[in-house]
Structure 1
């Protein structure tokens, strides 16, 4: 049971709430306005688990008290109870950290339910805060993960950092390829020189050439001054080209020449400029397949792919999830107004069971969203997205593909194989929540072939 502080200037309301909650076994403390409540909290706040708070009171109203409580006692759960329910009041109270909002005249059952939930929340919060937390007082730039898959990445990063050879970082979107590129640069002899990032997929093709190679004044309409390109800016340092698979064939030719000759020409100029740049590229696409389909030049592919490093997907390194979560929560706490943020074991277990199609970037977004809806910076299962909470292990029947097909006269081996393939593809799509890339990997099919067959079998 909990110690509950009731703050309301109406004695009848305090009596009603006291009567209801004492029957539930709670200990009740009362205050007739915000000033009295604040004095009590300053001396005995550790004894209070939940505060029931009216908004309109003399001397100090509820919203004023909420502002002070959020700063001084961020762990205190507050339930607002008021007769003056407006959209503005509701939004303001919730933005100040109120756990819930009850409108007078209130329903007794509703009060009991909300207080019971708040008590459970307070108990879980205390348990989460008592759990040992990893020491995260380290650079936010460090790479998180002690799994065997990441240890292999670290070894390769260490080896290539001592050289200037081109490195191709491969992996799904959101796996942290840019952070690995930064690690290579800052562990190299060029660490005191520029690291320049270019996202080839985020810049329109007609602008990307001038972005990479620069331009002279008057080279095109709008070129009112000479501008050096990213190659020049990265001279003696490192140029990181992300999403290199999005580069057009025309730009691939110019990039190849720049790498081979170690010189570039600005748009509108015929004067070559010598460059000394270490190039790191990254892609979430299969460049080898793109070469086969004529979408990527083979000579550029082999020029970039001197040392390939495969960054594992988050589902392939799930043992790193607890450390990643605690590191991210540590870095987000201040942004959300908390000295420290926490996650319950139940919530962490759900994160561990999830398959993470969006990898670390998705994990970051899930945690940020959860902190928005949390109280006191403690993430409970209900604060996670539905896709996470629905990720409990499936039954053996659901997670295993079993072919149940009846043969009939007129069937051919071709039609039987097609029906089998279609059934297997439907199963794989169900296992991966419709993600065709992951479904194709599950069946060890090429992504392009899987997508084409989805169209043939009308699985879209």
Structure 2
């Protein structure tokens, strides 16, 4: 459970904000002043601090500077009224993760807090390489095969330099872990490390997310916003799935790499920045250049150093090492003894092609552990969550088929017209299907379903209530699961 400290002299806002975060499943502490907040940070390890800028006594900026002295990797989000936006921007330039404008939008604040916690985790959770398979520490790169030894050597050679690195490999091979390992062994460790997924946002939003914007740059730009690249000044930016980045933004990234400067949307002056760029892609960039969807000049700027991650099928001897690691890790997460795998299950996973690579193997073992109910995982348990080699039809990991099916359904529903809130309706329909499947897989256990979905249990319960879901499935007993659902 992530722990958050709220520092604000407004008692009503502090209490209501804490209540909101607790309902989302966070552990929350409160402090009424900068001095009290600083004392709390000295006494307890937090995952995030939300700090008001204007407070009597020690100001928010002074408290922020002191917190940075105690722990430079602790993410801090500052809160401010519209009248003090420039102060918040200065805090962001000095290393604050971002700022919240009062009065704030609840959904936007919760999303920002999720991003800040993830960024903090990226900076603080150490990535270990080639550790013992029975290690239960998350974020390890597992493997002793010759291809993985080459990866470890590459990380060691490039980490202490400031060279731009291009990490290549199929989806699910662990490109983000390699980027984190490079960052954590670099001279910039302890400075900001921000991850930008280049396919998660539409083109216009991605550009403003990366480079920021000036007040009035577009409709709704009520104040200046610092972009992620400027936020990470002095640190490292990881551009994930850069092969899918729009050409217009590729041009701006090229300028950043060439001139070490950027220009916010709506701005007319360049801002100098000092960031190291790590990039990753599962695309064939050479083919993309031929098809004129990726810039050749950017390609050569990115591949100063290239780290190639092998697919799981090319390191079969690592499969059982990975399986032992994930079984230990997930058993610990589920607060149960590790039941292990039968010899037949080990043989099965060794011979499965794993098109989704390490990510698919991890997901399959996590779900199989739920199905096994404390007994050693058998081939039948694994078969329930992956498409077997003799089964007809596409694998459950076949994204193209899934996209086609969902796309056809979406087109049919959109063509039908009707409710003006069509997007919300479709989103709720998909959400309901996903939650029902998770609850069916866990036999109605809400706690395990929340873990499977990556949600806080209160969030899952609120979605079930909002969607008025009637779950017709057998709820496991405390004897079966070791916990109430």
CA offsets, 1:210-267, max 9 Å, x none? 0000112222122222221111121111110001011111111111111111011111
Q: How does 1:294-309 map to 2 (within 5 A)?
A: 294-309=292-307
CA RMSD for the aligned pairs?
2.6
Pairing 1:339–2:341 present: no
TM-score computed with the length of structure 2 as normaliser:
0.52
Deviation at 1:430, TM superposition (A): 10
What is the total number of aligned residue pairs between the two structures?
A: 269
Aligned 8 A contact 2:137 2:329 in 1: no
Residue 435 (structure 1) shift: 7.3
CA–CA distance in structure 2, aligned partners of residues 196 and 376 of structure 1: 38
Counterpart selection for 1:365 from 347, 363, 366: 363
- 1:314-340 superposed Cα distances (whole Å, 9 cap, x missing partner): 111111111111111111113334133
Check the 8 A contact 2:387/2:396 in 1, yes or no: no
Q: 1:314 to 1:380 in 2, by over 3 A?
A: same
- Where do 4+ consecutive residues of structure 1 move more than 4 Å? 386-389, 429-437
Match of 2:148 among 147, 150, 154: 150
Q: Corresponding residue for 2:417?
A: none
Q: CA deviation at 1:433?
A: 11
Distance in 2 separating the partners of 1:135 and 1:153: 18
For 1:434 and 1:239, the matched residues in 2 are separated by 29
Could you tell me which of 195, 211, 214 is aligned with 1:213? 211
2:316 match: 318
CA distance in 1, matches of 2:137, 2:389: 32
Whole-angstrom distance in 1 between the partners of 2:249 and 2:172? 25
The match for 1:382 is 380
**Partners in 1 of 2:296 and 2:163 — Cα distance?**
18
Contact 1:175–1:361 (Cα < 8 Å) also in 2: yes
Q: Which runs of 5+ in 2 are unaligned?
A: 1-131, 401-485
Tell me: CA distance 1:167–1:225, structure 2 relative to 1, closer, same or farther (3 Å): same
How far the C-alpha of 1:364 sits from its partner, in A, is: 1.4
Q: Contact between 1:336 and 1:371, CA under 8 Å: does it hold in 2?
A: no
Q: Distance in 2 between matches of 1:436 and 1:331?
A: 27
* 1:57-456 equivalences in 2 (<5 Å): 136-137=134-135, 139-385=137-383, 390-391=388-389
CA distance in 2, matches of 1:244, 1:271: 26
User: Partners of 2:277 and 2:265 in 1: how far apart?
Assistant: 21
Structure 1 pair 197–377 and aligned structure 2 pair: CA distance change class (3 A): farther
Residues 214 and 267 of structure 2 are in contact (CA less than 8 Å); yes or no, is this contact kept in structure 1? yes
Q: For residues 397 and 230 of structure 2, what CA distance do their matches in structure 1 show?
A: 44
Q: CA deviation at 1:300?
A: 0.5
- Structure 1: which 5+ residue stretches go unaligned? 1-133, 395-428, 438-460
Question: Does the aligned pair in 1 maintain the 2:355–2:397 contact within 8 Å?
Answer: no
Measure, in 1, the Cα distance between the counterparts of 2:387 and 2:267. Answer: 58
Distance 1:311 1:135 in 2: 20
1:158-193 per-residue CA deviation (whole Å, 9 max, x = no partner) reads 111121111111111011000000011101111111
1:292 and 1:258 map into 2 onto residues whose CA distance is 24
Q: CA deviation at 1:375?
A: 2.0
Q: Is the 8 A contact 1:174 1:360 kept in 2?
A: yes
Per the TM alignment, residue 387 of structure 1 is displaced from its structure 2 partner at its CA by 7.8
Give the TM-score of the pair, scaled to structure 1: 0.55
1:263 & 1:434 partners in 2: Cα distance?
40
> Secondary structure in 2 aligned to 1:379?
coil
Q: CA deviation at 1:138?
A: 5.6
